[in-house]
Chains A and B, each alone.
Chain A
Amino acid sequence: MLPARKTTAAGATIERLAWTIASLATFVALWAMAAALSESRHLPGPDKVLEVLGQEAASGALWSNMSITMVRVACAFFLAMLIGTVIGIFLGSYRRADKFFDSWLVLFLNLPALVIIALSYVWLGTTELTAILAVAVNKIPNVAVQMREGARQLSRDLSEMAHVYNFGPWKTLRHVTLPQLAPFAAAAARSGLALVWKIVLVVEALGGHATGVGHQIHAAFGNYDVPTILAYALAFIVVIQIVEFGVLQPLQARVNKWRR
């Protein structure tokens, strides 16, 4: 390896890809070895998991469960981003409000997800909306904290410039404020997606929903059906990574393209 050598963008991508493939291949090999050695039905090998995945896909169960869960993830994600952003900008802009509500934020940040989920179902009933709200409430404090930081760092120099050059509220929001918040929103979105999809599964499992990946995993857990649990986990990881690489990373690169 010559780490000092300058690589082109394409070269860098290929190199990164090679590392990822080598790393994942090693993981799969270790997994297969462990499964073969243990010979336990509680530790199926990759081949067995893929087989179950194929069966679930063929029966259509995989698609219907994945899609309903993805819809829940998307709703909770956008709801959390929207509400968290509004709260964060509000707290970052008004010092007194921030001083007062800071403790509330700390409270909600440290409230265990399970408590929020349990209380939501008790208070609001096991509806579809409750599930989405419970997930969103788990994520909102994180988004609010990141966006508050962004709002605190808004440049006074640039708002004065916008004032002097008569930008008006709409132009200021679009060309001055939002571009400054974009990196914080992108960071919140990336960490948010990971959190939201994990919590959605818990919500689905606890809420007695008849559909969704969480429900499937919960049912499989009842039968100690490890291959099904792993099959759904695998499918979900793949989907989330596609969203990460296909949507969120390009978005983040786009909002940062002006940087030196």
Chain B
Amino acid sequence: MAPVSGSGSPVRVRVKRKSFAAIGGRDENVVLTDVSFDVAPRSFVVLTGPSGCGKSTLLNIVAGLDTDYEGDIDLGSGSPQMTFIFQTPRLLPWRTIRENLMLSLPDGDRRQDGVDAILDRVGLTEAKNAYPERTSLGMQRRAALARGFIQEPDILLMDEPFVSLDDPTAHGLRELLVDLWNSRPTTVMFVTHDRTEAVMLGTRILRLAPGSASIVADETVRLSPAERTDREKVQAELKRIFESPAADHNGAGVSQG
């Protein structure tokens, strides 16, 4: 019953080296070295690690927004459709929320018929004709989420889309995301530094080390959809993944030289 994304092949990420050019006396800054992994179709992969470890840079590379790197990204066969949900909502402030969703799709596209339904689903029916800056940040993030999902993408990239929200709002949005993803599973790469968020959402967690980041741990999250909204189960799984001796050895000990 659930419509599934078309692409059946994995996303292959191979980044040999990514650096930012030296500016004003500062040395060249190497942010990523030898980051390679595959993302299975319709899996929800979370990239996590401390701030500044290069998670967002990696996502920008996968999205094609940053092309200045050594390596190769293979999105799979059949030119899959990709969508990016940014760290900030990035809605056009001079267009209403509804107009923002309509504009994100080609004119006359059948998906435009679903705009009102998805706005209703994320609880924005009342606010849909408001300009984004006249709504709360939580509402803007919900609009950004709806704009991403209405694309019906094969690959969905998300860069800390719930950061700087209060806990209940962020929690509500995570449940909404799980709900949306369950009704239409798609390949997701989700960046966050929030461990609870990582465990609650992901089917697999990749941990990046600080400094010239590379992957230090690759864990599968062993939670059923129902268990993901159970705080205790989430906490237990978080402990298992992040506080095991192996994880400590690999992750927390690596520091920037």
* Contact partners of A260 in chain B: CB under 8 A: 133-134
Q: Is A123 an interface residue (CB 8 A)?
A: no
B115 to chain A, nearest CB (A): 14
Q: Is B181 an interface residue (CB 8 A)?
A: no
Check B65–A259 contact: CB distance below 8 A.
Answer: no
Which residue of A163, A165, A171, A259 is within 8 Å of B151 (Cβ)? A165
Q: Is B242 an interface residue (CB 8 A)?
A: no
Q: A176-B92, A255-B94 are in contact. List 20 more A-B contacts (CB 8 A).
A: A157-B88, A157-B90, A160-B65, A160-B84, A160-B86, A160-B90, A164-B63, A164-B83, A165-B83, A165-B103, A165-B104, A165-B147, A165-B151, A167-B103, A175-B92, A179-B92, A179-B94, A258-B94, A258-B133, A260-B133
Q: How large is the interface on B (under 10, 10 to 19, 20 to 34, 35 or more residues)?
A: 20 to 34
Q: Is A161 an interface residue (CB 8 A)?
A: yes
* Contact partners of B76 in chain A: CB under 8 A: none
* Contact partners of B94 in chain A: CB under 8 A: 179, 255, 258
CA–CA, A150 and B243, complex, Å: 50
* Contact partners of B88 in chain A: CB under 8 A: 157
Which residues of A67-118 are within 8 A (CB) of B?
Answer: none
Question: Number of A residues whose C-beta is below 8 Å from B?
Answer: 17
* Contact partners of A161 in chain B: CB under 8 A: 86, 90
- Residues 122-137 of B, flagged 1 when their CB comes within 8 A of A and 0 if not, give 0000000001011000
Check B95–A164 contact: CB distance below 8 A.
Answer: no
Pairs of residues from A and B, 9 with the lowest C-beta to C-beta distance, nearest first? A258-B131, A161-B90, A179-B94, A165-B104, A258-B94, A164-B84, A260-B133, A157-B90, A160-B65
Q: Is A158 an interface residue (CB 8 A)?
A: yes
Measured CB to CB, the nearest residue on chain B to A157 is B90
* Contact partners of B147 in chain A: CB under 8 A: 165
* Contact partners of A255 in chain B: CB under 8 A: 94
* Contact partners of B93 in chain A: CB under 8 A: 258-259
Check A164–B65 contact: CB distance below 8 A.
Answer: yes
Which residues of A200-235 are within 8 A (CB) of B?
Answer: none
- Residues 136-162 of A, flagged 1 when their CB comes within 8 A of B and 0 if not, give 000000000000000000000110110
Check B103–A157 contact: CB distance below 8 A.
Answer: no
